[in-house]
Amino acid sequence: MPRGTNKEADEIGKRASRRLPQEPGVFEERLFKPSAAPPATDPAPPWEGLPPPPASGAPAYGPTLGARLLLALEPQEGCWTEEFRAYLMQGTLPEKEEDAERVARQATKYCIRDGELYRKQPNDVSLRCVSREQGCEMLAGIHGGDCGHHSSSRTLVGKAFLSGFYWPKALNDATELVRSCEAS
């Protein structure tokens, strides 16, 4: 129903978004589970025939349609993730005081699941942390692979993050890749 034809709901929504008290007679109900079930006669989704994502890989937060990005990623020594992994698993910090402060402060954004480091996002989506080299390979595949379309650096990073992967220098790496590309 359009807002213009339902002024009462529009007023309730405006008051709630401003965190103002509601008028007498308006009651709040908090739902902790879906209030409706999907129809039982839905046809099979188009991605049903695809293989499941790897158990230790990216969570299934990536694209909902089409093929999933399946990568076999091996942990690399000396990677940027090692400081956070050591702090979260054993509580050890780097020796330099500045690095120790940085790691302790930034570690609140990360968590360990099934032995893998993930970055927590504000929308409760977790992105698997990968090394810079693995991230650059992924960007190159997205940018110029068989189905690549030579998109901009921000679009490349968005696609990598939507696939469930994260590394801190992603935008810098994507910008460098796009600038050095001969086809763009």
Q: Which residue has the tokens 């909902």?
A: 64
The answer to whether residue 2 scores a pLDDT higher than 80 is no
Distance CA 44, CA 61 (A): 19
Between the CA of residue 58 and those of 19, 52, 63, 113, 119, what are the distances in Å? 37, 11, 12, 11, 11
Instruction: Please give the residue that has the higher pLDDT: either 14 or 182.
Output: 14
The answer to whether residue 61 scores a pLDDT higher than 50 is no
pLDDT digit string, tens, across residues 80-102: 888 888 888 888 888 888 888 88
